[in-house]
A and B are shown apart, each in its own frame.
Chain A
Amino acid sequence: MLQRTSRMLRSSFVSARARASVVSLFVALAALFVALPAAAVPTLTLSTGGTNPSRSGVTRDQAHRPNAISYQDCIDNITMTFTLIAAPGTFVTGSDTVQVWAGVGDCTQTTNRAAMSLGTCQPVSDTVGVGAAFSVSVTARDLVYASLGKQSPGNGGLVTPLTHQTDPSICSQRTDPAGAPMNVAFLDFAAGAMGNDAAGSVVYTAAMGSNLDITVDTVGPPLPTGPSISIGSELLKLSWTPVDNATDTFGFTVFCDPAPGKDPAVAPGLPDGAAVATCDASATTTDSAVPTDSATTVDAVASDAADSAVTPTDSGSGCSTSGDGGGGCYSAVIKQGINGTLIDRYYVCASIADKTSTQATITGLTNDKQYTFGVAASDLVGNVGPVLVFDCATPQAIDDFWNRYKNAGGGAGGTFCALEAVGLPVTTSMMGLACVVVALALVRRRRR
């Protein structure tokens, strides 16, 4: 009897423990469900603190459209880093990951992220774990690749490992000066039984609460035409005709070789390391000074079409000039820009932020020294289009009115002009004086 009672008591005790365990388990699971009701799709927002996305490695002027990817951005392969904030309770740390996809199509559509349906969206970032605040980075070349409309590597939007684009030649593959507005989507891939979303859920896009304006624009505006050049003393005037309706044009960039005011010792050469084939400055001068421009060497491209009509006049220097205004000499550095190849910024001697501009005066030149020029239209993000190459030209001394007057024996000049105030043209002083006179007259009249 005692033994039976003892067994029953033991049995009932074990059952109670088992039941308690089961109940505890259910309670715990229920609590988990209650605590993470929306774990399937984290709620993300772009952080509003600081510049977002931040850009690193940028060398171009970012005054206009800082979130666009320019050719220079692509060459620099800059990194854009987005800082996102996940709403508390909407994600599982260590479970949810985010990957950025981008393309010219609508990347919120699964079909555009699927290879089988010829989707054109591409993954452009590695996957990163979701946290309360976390960052995801995108490189310029990956975005440029995504703008090319190539077939998506995705499979219905599954997590797709990203193969980063490292070849700078990708930067030259776009041809449209207007650029490609990118559709950027942030996809959440949750692991585990809860919130498992193998296809990836769109948790953030550029259209959601921000105006990112991420455009890949790596092509400069079209080539201006009608180059002409006129000579001045220590200056040259270039003029050209802009292309009509070139809406992408923001201004013009002028390249000079040799670059006035810059140290020739640090002049960069051609990208491929070839010799810089520049018409030497001293070839047509009257002085016998030895050229000091290390960047300027003899014309080394004998097979060039421009050279075929050249009759060298100074075989000693090797400078090729035809004697017809310098039409036969050229700068290989500038000439490489004819097909849109980026010319090193060292050679930029003027930037004009006016799309209607048709001329530029390049000052600070040395008389009797030969210069070569190129002009290219540029857009808002600093892309430079194909370069319009000018004939070589040589600034010369001028015989202006004052020089001619003095040479004829005129004795005037040199008097200090008190009305030419520092920093003000004399016309301003005249206007000021006239205003004072009129004001005095009016005051006197009112007193009467």
Chain B
Amino acid sequence: MTRRKIVAGAAAAFVLLGLASEARAQDRSGALESRHRKFESPQNFAFELRFSPYRPDVDGDPALRGNRPYRDIFGSMPRLMISAELDWQAVRIPHFGTIGPGISVGYTSMAALAPLVKKAPDGSTLSGENTDLDIFPFYLVAVARADVVSRELNIPLVPYAKAGLGYALWRAYNDGGTSNSHGLNGKGHTYGTQVAFGVALQLNVFDSYSARNFDNTMGVNNTYLFWEYYSADLTSFGSTTALRVGNTSWAAGLAFEF
């Protein structure tokens, strides 16, 4: 009786083990194949090198009563913002893609010749001194990347979305250092929301051999060229004491999953 129980238990364990093995085998090559495809190193992160035209919405502040100090000084030409984003692809959802947190650090700067308070003897109104505004935008967002399109439909496109909080440090200065007016230094911070939608073109399909080597040597699973539309609503949630350095624009760049 006891022996029969032991044999039955062993058989049941063998069956369960076999089922588990089969499940793992299915996990590798079946329904969960998208997590680790053949010849792939583990994939947990994404890194983006981003470039974007940036024109802070300083003049949108209602406290300025229609005045446009930003446009008056720096004009309407957007400046280049360079930023980097690191995402942790914490969760992979079968038949969808990845989701996880991401952080970004960026930098943009604008400079122009400062006007003189009064005309120079030669009639010129501009000084030889620069007036500058530096902005360092950060954000912490949740990133969802639907790579099921490329993994299961073999279309090398990955749509994605981001949403979260934004924060920016900024500093206004001239050749003499940080600007000061009305007893206040021209530096501070502004926060708000950050949302973005975009699509990434997977470059692996253009040279799969190089892509595989890149993965084997550097651990980079996928390389993308991406474009996104984003809105950084940095107004400190409507505060009247915030310099509105947010921007709604597009960004493009290269992304790597590793």
Contact = CB atoms under 8 A, between A and B. Distances in A.
Contact of B242 (A284, A323, A412): A412
A125 B105 CA distance: 71
B41 to A, nearest CB: 10
Contacts of A420: 171, 187
B184 A414 contact: yes
A232 B127 contact: yes
B188 A414 contact: yes
A422 to B, nearest CB: 14
Contact of B73 (A397, A404, A410): A404
Contacts of B172: 400-402, 405
Given A399-B114, A399-B116, A403-B181, A231 B107 contact: no
Interface stretch (A164-172, A181-189, A345-353, A434-442): A434-442
B190 interface: yes
Contacts of A415: 187-189
A430 interface: yes
Interface residues of A, number: 52
Nearest to A237: B128
Given A232-B176, A325-B120, A414-B185, A408 B64 contact: yes
B246 to A, nearest CB: 13
Interface string B90-112: 00000000000001010100001
Q: Which of B88, B131, B133 has the most C-beta atoms of chain A within 10 angstroms of its own C-beta?
A: B131
B250 interface: no
B73 A401 contact: yes
B5 interface: no
Nearest to A419: B169
Contacts, number: 180
Chain B contact patch, size range = 35 or more
Interface in A34-55: none
Interface in A64-86: none
Contact of A402 (B117, B127, B131): B131
B46 to A, nearest CB: 10
Interface in B182-202: 182-190
A256 to B, nearest CB: 16
A118 interface: no
Interface in B234-258: 240-243, 258
B30 interface: no
A324 to B, nearest CB: 6
A413 interface: yes
B164 to A, nearest CB: 16
Nearest to A230: B128
A152 interface: no
A4 interface: no
A233 B171 contact: no
B175 A426 contact: no
B69 A401 contact: yes
A405 B243 contact: yes
B8 interface: no
Given A396-B120, A397-B116, A398-B127, A410 B169 contact: no
A142 B122 CA distance: 51
Contacts of B136: 419, 426, 430
B242 A396 contact: no
Nearest to A400: B131
Interface string B42-77: 101101000000000010010111010110111000
Nearest to B241: A411
A323 B112 CA distance: 27
Contacts of A230: 127-129
Contacts of A321: 121
A234 interface: yes
Contacts of B180: 402
A5 interface: no
Contacts of B116: 231, 396-399
B179 A403 contact: yes
Given A231-B116, A401-B69, 9 more contacts: A324-B122, A402-B186, A405-B181, A408-B69, A412-B241, A417-B188, A417-B189, A420-B171, A434-B105
Please list the 5 inter-chain residue pairs (A to B) with the smallest Cβ-Cβ separation, ordered nearest first.
A230-B128, A232-B129, A402-B179, A415-B188, A400-B131
9 contacts: A231-B129, A396-B117, A400-B73, A400-B174, A404-B73, A405-B58, A411-B242, A426-B171, A434-B105
